[in-house]
Amino acid sequence: MQLVPAMDSVYLWGEGGNSPCHVIALQLFRPPEGSGPELLDELYEGMTDPKHVKRSFRRRPVRGWSTGGQFAWAIDDDLDMGLHVRRIGLPRPARIRELLEFLGDWHAVPLARDRPLWEARLVEGLEDGRFALATKMHHASLDGVNMGRHLLGGLSTDQEHRGGTAPWMVPTAERSSPRKRRPLPSWTDTARSVGGAAGAFVRSLPRLASAGAAAVREDSVALPYDAPPTRFNAPVSSGRRFAGDKWPMERLRTVARRAGTSSNDVALAMCGGALRSYLDERGELPDDPLVTMVPVSLVGTDPSGTATDGNSWAAVLATLATDTDDPVERLTRVHAAMNRSKDLMGSLDAVSATAISAVNLAGAVPISIPGAPSLPRPAFNLICSTIPATREPLYLDGCELTENYPISMVLDGQALNITMVSYADHLAFGITGCRRSVPHLQRLLAHLENGLTDLEKATAR
């Protein structure tokens, strides 16, 4: 067995009944013209063959005397695929609204820990003839970038290609050659790795102190507890809501070119504008700007890269400039904040970046501890993350992937999560929220459109 790395085990230790630490990837496919019901029969059959399940999707967590009380990964070679992959038929003709309601209910159910931490639903019955593949994956196993690599790795840019695979299956082209299994690290290897990381952390302390002093002196980055209290920063219930929509990337790129920023900055400014409008219409807009935590990958974001296990990212904090009604000023401030954070992380090694992330994230922990006193300010207000995908349309055995939405985690003190995935010519926004703390969640979609429109008008002048 292999001990679960510290960064990954946080998701196992911190998981609660109302705060499951998994995400759902929602992929919508359009079948090719003339296809019949046998198409889904064939796809489902290919998704449930246990012989070809990837090793990453065979790992299950164990903990006991033999692991020193820590979590470790055991490999499950006897998968019951009926527990992992199920075919669901919504009452026909089902609208997207019914699909999202089903996914909201499914999201609230934690993954069972007596088997590998993933499940999937092949959903049919949508009114436009499309079908959905929803894959639920635990964050202790994979981060967002590597989830994306698994999700797209079995698809093809060729509509005529056959032999596509689901995210948890070994690609067809790799099955003929014997797979090289990496040997699991021994306890000695693990101890040596922990010792090496501790030594690297100690050596990085002077650099961390210098970077932290510069950030405070220059007021160049958002700090933990700079965020104002909002309805998004209370304990969450078990109920979930999800809303999603997509915007043409060219609209964001046009604004970015005019303003001299990046498309990601424009997306964050859209989030800032939408959150300002949402809170303002409820009479709850704080005087101080909202602060978001933005995950930054430490291993690159190329969607065609080799998928690895576990998490490798750093947490940076950035203002969303919700205290201004000027869309250009908001974009300028977001751009400056993200540039400073990227420069800071770029000047640090991986150990130092992880240490700063721990400081940024530690402030969000107390609210999830029963009986802990409430803090006057949250560490940050919400998480906004971006996951890149391919710019080309992809197909699963001739079925076009039309939309690709993320449904992310909602935790105590973090009742709202906005995750964006770029695919083909669009940027998809997946908004996940606590059903109680974030009422009328779908209103944020209209506010996102208004935020982008305001930026287009302002930058055109």
Residue 379 C-beta-side C-alpha neighbours within 13 Å? 21
Query: How far is Cα 374 from Cα 235, in angstroms, rounded to an integer?
Result: 10
372, 281 contact by CB (below 8 A): no
71, 9 contact by CB (below 8 A): yes
For tokens 């890149």, name the residue: 388
**Is residue 136 within a helix (H) or strand (E), and if so which, with residue range?**
strand 131-138
Q: Under DSSP, is residue 153 helix (H, G, I), strand (E, B) or coil?
A: helix
How deeply is 93 buried, as exposed, middle or buried, from its count of CB atoms within 10 A (0-12, 13-18, 19+)?
A: exposed
Q: Are strands 395-396 and 399-407 parallel, antiparallel or unpaired?
A: antiparallel
Query: How far is Cα 256 from Cα 455, in angstroms, rounded to an integer?
Result: 10
Between the alpha carbon of residue 294 and those of residues 55, 198, 215, 291, the distances in Å are 29, 25, 17, 10
What is the strand order of the sheet 426-434 is part of? 240-248, 426-434, 416-423, 382-388, 291-297, 313-319
440 catalytically annotated: no
130, 29 contact by CB (below 8 A): yes
The 3 state secondary structure assigned to 94-113 is: ECHHHHHHHHHHHHCCCCCC
Catalytic residue among 22, 139, 150, 335: 139
Q: Under DSSP, is residue 69 helix (H, G, I), strand (E, B) or coil?
A: coil
Q: Name residue 242's beta-bridge partners.
A: 432
For tokens 């499950």, name the residue: 76
> What sections of 326-425 are H helices per DSSP?
327-346, 350-362
Longest CA–CA span in the chain (Å) reads 67
Query: How far is Cα 102 from Cα 410, in angstroms, rounded to an integer?
Result: 17
Tokens, residue 82: 């009926």
Catalytic machinery residues: 139
